[in-house]
């Protein structure tokens, strides 16, 4: 019983083919609360709302048991690269 | 999307209890669906009260598991939601009320809207399970809060926060308030 970080990762990988994926269990171990960051080509040309809908759909089964899910990032590989570069230049400055 | 299941029993500070219990917004559990919004809009308009006592008899009370399987979005509820969303430029379906949010994610959206100084209506989905289940179908969105702007579903907490940070929310609200 309970959903694990691995469950979420498996579903997201299978359905959204992410090039980067980070799932953090913020529940303190009970499997009720997660934060998700996902980079996928499938987000290309989609509005933020549609991207979130895609993540919701991918996690439809798990959602029944999760109590809190925060989707922090749904970006395309291109956006991800830009963000990484921006972060690096900020760090260097 | 951000949301949580913090459906704690409703506890109010004692001094607020008498005021709250006399308010019609707390009667929905007994009387079927009573959707009451306090109107804060700049233009004077009558407060919206939708009562569908006839359509929501207590027969559904003990059948919460069946509701989830069957459709909670009855035609009556759908038309009520259509009306609420069409007659208010900004509507937030949330856990708790504007003044007493009962969930951190709902609270976040309330604080954002308050900080932008726009009039908005809130509906407490914890008070009515029919409304809560029906809205998930209506919006095709599994969780709360749910924000509607200018008749359209805008998003949950994460989307609202992101749009607030990048300025899109402010832009849209400005346009909406002028229209």
What is the ipTM for the molecules in this complex? Answer: 0.86
Residue B65 pLDDT more than 70? no
Residue B44: C-alpha distances to residues B81, B88, B119, B158, B166 (Å): 21, 12, 12, 32, 32
Mean pLDDT value across residues B76-89: 96
Cis check: omega of the bond before B145, within 30 degrees of 0: yes
Residue B174 pLDDT more than 50? yes
What are the chain A neighbours of B142 within 8 Å (beta carbons)?
56, 60, 63
Got the DSSP string for B20-37? HHHSGGG-HHHHS-EEEE
Which of B1, B141, B157 should be substituted to probe chain A, the one whose Cβ sees the most A Cβ atoms within 10 Å?
B1
Question: Using one digit for the tens of pLDDT, what is the confidence trace for B19-54?
Answer: 444 344 434 333 345 455 444 434 444 445 554 443
Worst-scoring range by mean pLDDT, A52-56, A61-65, B114-118, B157-161?
A61-65
What are the chain B neighbours of A32 within 8 Å (beta carbons)?
5
pLDDT tens string, chain A, 93 residues long: the values are 578 999 999 999 999 999 999 999 998 767 688 999 999 999 999 999 999 999 999 999 999 888 889 999 999 999 999 999 998 888 776
Interface check A53 vs B, CB under 8 A: yes
Packed helices A48-58 and B157-165: angle between N→C axes, nearest 10 degrees: 150
Of A53, A67, A71, the CB nearest to B158: A71
Report CA B49 to chain centroid distance, whole Å: 14
What are the chain A neighbours of B164 within 8 Å (beta carbons)?
none
Worst-scoring range by mean pLDDT, A20-34, B50-64, B107-121?
B50-64
Q: So what's the pLDDT on residue B12?
A: 39
Considering chain B, what percentage of its residues have pLDDT values greater than 70?
A: 61
Interface check A71 vs B, CB under 8 A: yes
Cα(B142)–Cα(B169) distance, integer angstroms: 22
Cβ–Cβ gap A55/B4 under 8 Å: no
Cβ–Cβ gap A52/B159 under 8 Å: yes
- Residue B126 has, within 13 A of its CA and on its CB side, a CA count of 19
Instruction: Tell me how many degrees the CA angle B161-B119-B28 measures, rounded to the nearest 5.
Output: 90
> Residue B58, class by beta-carbon neighbours within 10 Å (0-12 exposed, 13-18 middle, 19+ buried)?
exposed
Where does A5-92 sit in CATH, by number? 3.30.300.90
Q: Where are the domains of chain B?
A: 17-178
Cβ–Cβ gap A52/B156 under 8 Å: yes
Cα(A40)–Cα(A62) distance, integer angstroms: 20
Pick the CATH number of B17-178 from 3.40.50.2300, 3.40.50.300, 3.40.30.10, 3.30.465.10: 3.40.30.10
Q: So what's the pLDDT on residue A89?
A: 86
- Looking at every residue in chain B, the average pLDDT score rounds to 76
Q: So what's the pLDDT on residue B178?
A: 92
B interface with A, Cβ–Cβ below 8 Å: 1-5, 105, 140-143, 153-159, 162-163
Report CA B78 to chain centroid distance, whole Å: 14
Got the DSSP string for B54-122? TTS-GGGTT-HHHHHHS-S--HHHHHHHHHHHHH-SEEEEESB-SSSBSSHHHHHHHHHHHHTT---EE
Banded pLDDT at B14 (limits 50, 70, 90): very low
Check if the beta carbon of residue B144 is closer than 8 Å to that of residue B138.
Answer: no
Interface check A72 vs B, CB under 8 A: yes
Residue B11 pLDDT more than 70? no
Of B3, B4, B159, the CB nearest to A49: B159
């Amino acid at each position: 019983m309970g959903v694990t970080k691995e469950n979420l990762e498996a579903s997201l990988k299978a359905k959204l083919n992410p090039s980067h994926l980070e799932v953090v269990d913020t529940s303190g171990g009970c499997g009720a609360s997660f934060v998700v960051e996902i980079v996928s080509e499938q987000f290309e040309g989609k509005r933020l709302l549609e991207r979130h809908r895609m993540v919701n759909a991918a996690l439809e089964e798990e959602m029944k048991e999760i109590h809190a899910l925060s989707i922090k990032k749904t970006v395309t590989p291109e956006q991800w690269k830009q963000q990484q570069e921006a972060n690096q230049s900020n760090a260097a400055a | 999307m951000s949301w949580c299941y913090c459906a704690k029993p409703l506890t109010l500070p004692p001094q607020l209890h008498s005021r709250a219990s006399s308010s019609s917004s707390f009667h929905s559990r007994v009387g079927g669906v009573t959707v009451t919004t306090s109107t804060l809009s700049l233009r004077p308009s009558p407060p919206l009260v939708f009562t569908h006592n006839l359509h929501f008899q207590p027969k559904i009370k003990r059948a919460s598991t069946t509701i989830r399987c069957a459709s909670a979005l009855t035609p009556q509820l759908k038309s009520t939601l259509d009306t609420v969303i069409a007659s208010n430029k900004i509507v937030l379906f949330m856990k708790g009320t504007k003044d007493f949010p009962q969930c951190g994610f709902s609270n976040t959206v309330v604080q954002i809207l308050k900080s932008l100084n726009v009039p908005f209506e809130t509906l407490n989905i914890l008070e009515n399970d029919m409304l809560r289940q029906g809205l998930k179908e209506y919006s095709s969105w599994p969780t709360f809060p749910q924000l509607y702007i200018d008749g359209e579903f805008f998003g949950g907490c994460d989307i609202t926060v992101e749009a607030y940070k990048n300025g899109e929310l402010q832009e849209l609200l400005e346009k909406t308030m002028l229209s």
